[in-house]
Amino acid sequence: METSLPVAERPRRPEWMKVRAPSADGRYFDVKKLIHGASLNTVCEEARCPNIAECWGKGTATFQILGDTCTRACRYCYVHSGKPEREPDPLEPLRLAQAAAQMGLHHVVVTSVDRDDVPDRGAGHFAATIRALKAKLPACSVEVLTPDFLGVEEQALATVIGARPEVFNHNIETVRRLHRRMRGSKASYEGALWLLQRAKEIADYPVLTKSGIIVGLGETNDEVVETMRDLRAHGVDVVTIGQYLQPSSKHAEIDRWVHPDEFRWLREQGEALGFGSVFAGPLVRSSYRADEQKHAADTGRGAVAY
């Protein structure tokens, strides 16, 4: 039986985890108004991303399609879980593409909730969104961060990759030992690796594959390196590593605060393994400065300075 740490024993948030609040400077409120006006969701808001002030202030955001209700309930994630009340909105891809054009984006990141209730798990909606973006913004690169498409993986991958996103991202999230405990019985560590490898195998163009790891859930740094090794063995080009932040008292507790020096060490280990881009730092999230991550992988720069 799990027990919670007494409040006095819980690790306190260190100074390096402090983030600035939104201000009137930059484009933060313009982005917020545009997104809400178009009835779009962003993972920035849904997952309480700590970088929302920075990213929206620069006029960027990560779009979340297929609604705001996830059919999974991972122990670290703040996105609302339950039974979705609505079918996917067929006009959402067009609204999203229009918003991206108004924001002047050159690299668009699209993610989603899990939709185990939809026959194709949302793959067709991803493809429609990619096509809408490419029609509206021909010079724009598109990055998708997908769920695992449980039960229809091969067909779903063919659908999504068929729309030709430049970056295919599926987050492995945590190390092998903690995977089932944190993600539940539907998710699979080996399945995540297979999905990433298979995406590259079926693509008839040089798609970049990418995955993210959360630290602070009870793993060791050596286990993180082992997970990076597994990702590289399955052809993954880009990896991100960031600190877990407990969204509420109902979620998994923070096991440790990983020091910036440890993140630098992990970044060095990732570079040594041969990733095209390694982005590791306390506030790093999978889509944080995603355009820079892609550029680093495309140009062979390796690690992105954090």
C-alpha to C-alpha distance for 111 and 31, rounded to whole angstroms: 18
C-alpha to C-alpha distance for 126 and 122, rounded to whole angstroms: 6
Structure tokens belonging to residue 65: 């399609």
Helix (H, G, I), strand (E, B) or coil at 84: coil
Q: How many residues does the chain have?
A: 306
70 is in an annotated binding site: yes
Helix (H, G, I), strand (E, B) or coil at 168: strand
Percent helix, strand, coil in the chain (nearest 5)? 40, 15, 45
Neighbouring C-beta atoms of residue 79, cutoff 10 Å = 22
140 is in an annotated binding site: no
Structure tokens belonging to residue 248: 């509420």
Q: Is 280 exposed, middle or buried (0-12, 13-18, 19+ CB in 10 A)?
A: buried
Give the CA count within 13 Å in the CB-facing half-sphere of 176: 12
C-alpha to C-alpha distance for 135 and 119, rounded to whole angstroms: 26
Helix (H, G, I), strand (E, B) or coil at 147: coil
Beta bridge partners of 154: none
Binding-site residue numbers are 44, 49, 55, 70, 74, 77, 287
Binding-site residue numbers for [4Fe-4S] cluster are 44, 49, 55, 70, 74, 77, 287
